[in-house]
Chain A
Amino acid sequence: MKAQSSQALATGGAMLAAGLAYAVLAFRLPHDGSVDASFFPRLLAVMMVLLGGVQTVTALRRPAPPAEEPAAVPGTGGKGALAVIATLAMIALYLFFLPRAGFPLATAVYLFAQIQLMAPRRDARATALHAAIAVIASAAIFALFRYGFGLLLPAGLLDGLVR
Chain B
Amino acid sequence: MAELLAAGFGAVFAPHVLILIILGTSVGIVFGAVPGLTAVMAIALTLPMTYSLGPVAGMALLMSLFIGATSGGLISAILLKIPGTPSSIATTFDGIPMMERGEGAKALGVGVVFSFIGTILSIAVLAVVAPWLAKVALRFGPQEYFAIAVFSLTLIATLSSGNLVKGVFAGTLGVAVSTVGIAPVEAARRFTFGMPELNSGFQTLTVLIGMFAISEVLSAARSARGMREPEAGRVELAGIRGFGFSLAEFRSQIPNALRSSAVGIGVGILPGVGSGTSNILSYIFARSRSKHPETFGTGVIDGVVASETANNAGIGGAMVPLLTLGIPGDAVTAILLGGLMVHGVQPGPLLFVTQSELVYAIFAAMTVSSVVMLLVEFFGIRIFVRLLAIPKHILLPVILVLCVIGAFGLSSRMFDAWTILVFGLLGYGFSKGGVPVAPFIIGFILGPMAETNLRRGLMLSDGNFLAFFANPIALAFLLMAVASLGWQLWRSLRGGGGAAMAGADT
Chain A residues lying within 8 Å of B398, measured Cβ to Cβ, are: 111, 137, 141
- Contact status A107-B506, CB under 8 Å: no
Q: Does B176 have its Cβ within 8 Å of any Cβ on chain A? A: yes
Q: Which residue of B lies closest to A30 (CB)?
A: B188
- The answer to the question of B101 belonging to the interface, with a C-beta cut-off of 8 Å to chain A, is no
Answer yes or no: A48 CB below 8 A from chain B CBs. yes
CB within 8 A of B221: which of A25, A48, A84? A84
Task: Specify which chain B residues have a CB less than 8 angstroms from the CB of A73 in the assembled complex.
Answer: 223, 226-227
Residues of B214-242 contacting chain A, CB below 8 A: 214, 217-218, 220-229
Asked whether A117 and B221 contact (CB < 8 A) given A11-B506, A55-B503, the answer is: yes
Q: At the interface, yes or no: A79 with Cβ under 8 Å from chain B?
A: yes
Answer whether residue B376 sits at the interface, using C-beta atoms and an 8 A cutoff.
no
A95-B404 contact, Cβ under 8 Å, with A58-B502, A62-B502: yes
Binds A, one of B16-24, B265-273, B451-459: B451-459
Map CB proximity to B onto A40-80 as digits: 1 under 8 Å, 0 otherwise.
Answer: 11001101100110110011001111010000011110011
Stretch of B103-111, B426-434, B473-481 with 4 or more beta carbons under 8 angstroms from chain A: B426-434
Given the interface pairs A62-B504, A115-B397, the reply to whether A84 lies near B405 with Cβ below 8 Å is: no
Contact, CB under 8 Å: B504 / A59: yes
Best-surrounded residue of B183, B429, B432, B502 (most CB of chain A within 10 A):
B502
Which of B176, B421, B435 counts the most A-chain CB atoms under 10 A from its CB? Answer: B176
Contact check, A114 vs B404: say whether CB atoms are below 8 A apart: no
Determine the chain A residues whose CB is within 8 A of the CB of B402 once the complex forms: 141
B3 on the A face (CB < 8 A): no
Option from A15, A30, A86, A88 in Cβ contact (under 8 Å) with B169: A15
If A79-B225, A151-B45, A151-B409 touch, whether A41 touches B166 (CB-CB below 8 Å) is no
A81 touches B506 (CB 8 A): no
Q: Which residue of A lies closest to B191 (CB)?
A: A25
Contacting residue for B188 out of A37, A44, A92, A141, CB 8 A = A37
Which one of B169, B190, B225, B458 lies within 8 Å of A75 (CB-CB)?
B225
Asked if B222 and A84 sit within 8 Å, CB to CB, the answer is yes
Given contacts A47-B172, A65-B499, A92-B421, contact A41 B179 (CB under 8 A): yes
Is the CB–CB distance between A54 and B165 below 8 Å?
A: yes
Stretch of B56-64, B343-351, B388-396 that contacts chain A: B388-396
**How far does the Cβ of B140 sit from chain A's closest Cβ, in whole Å?**
21
User: A120 near B: Cβ within 8 Å?
Assistant: yes
Q: Which residues of A contact B176 (CB under 8 A)?
A: 22, 41, 44-45, 48
Given contacts A48-B176, A110-B397, A110-B401, contact A59 B225 (CB under 8 A): no
> Do A55 and B405 touch (CB < 8 A)?
no
- Say yes or no: is B414 at the interface (Cβ < 8 Å to chain A): yes
Check if A18 is an interface residue, CB within 8 A of chain B: yes
Question: Are A118 and B166 in contact, with the CB atoms below 8 A?
Answer: no
Beta-carbon contact of A118 and B396 below 8 Å = yes
A86 touches B221 (CB 8 A): yes
Closest to B457 in A: A35
The answer to whether B222 and A150 have CB atoms under 8 Å apart is no
Smallest CB-CB separation from B188: which chain A residue? A37
Which residues on the A side are within 8 Å of B222 (C-beta)? Answer: 76, 80-81, 83-84
The answer for the CA separation of A44 and B503 in the assembled complex, in Å, is 20
Do residues B45 and A87 form an inter-chain contact, with CB atoms below 8 A? no
Specify the chain A residue showing the minimal Cβ separation from B184. Answer: A37
Among A4, A14, A80: residue with most chain B CB under 10 A: A80
In the complex, whether B486 has a CB less than 8 A from a CB of chain A is no
Chain A minimum-CB-distance residue to B189: A37
A-contact bits for B139-154, CB 8 A (1 contact / 0 none): 0000000000000000
Give me the 7 closest cross-chain CB pairs, A-B, nearest first: A75-B226, A58-B502, A37-B183, A75-B225, A118-B393, A118-B224, A11-B433
Binding site for B on A (CB under 8 A): 4, 7-8, 10-11, 14-15, 18, 22, 25, 29-30, 34-37, 40-41, 44-45, 47-48, 51-52, 54-55, 58-59, 62-65, 67, 73-76, 79-81, 83-84, 86-88, 91-92, 94-95, 98-99, 107, 110-111, 114-115, 117-120, 130, 133, 137-138, 141, 145, 149-153
Q: List 8 A-B contacts (CB under 8 A).
A: A15-B169, A37-B188, A37-B190, A40-B179, A59-B502, A84-B221, A98-B417, A120-B228
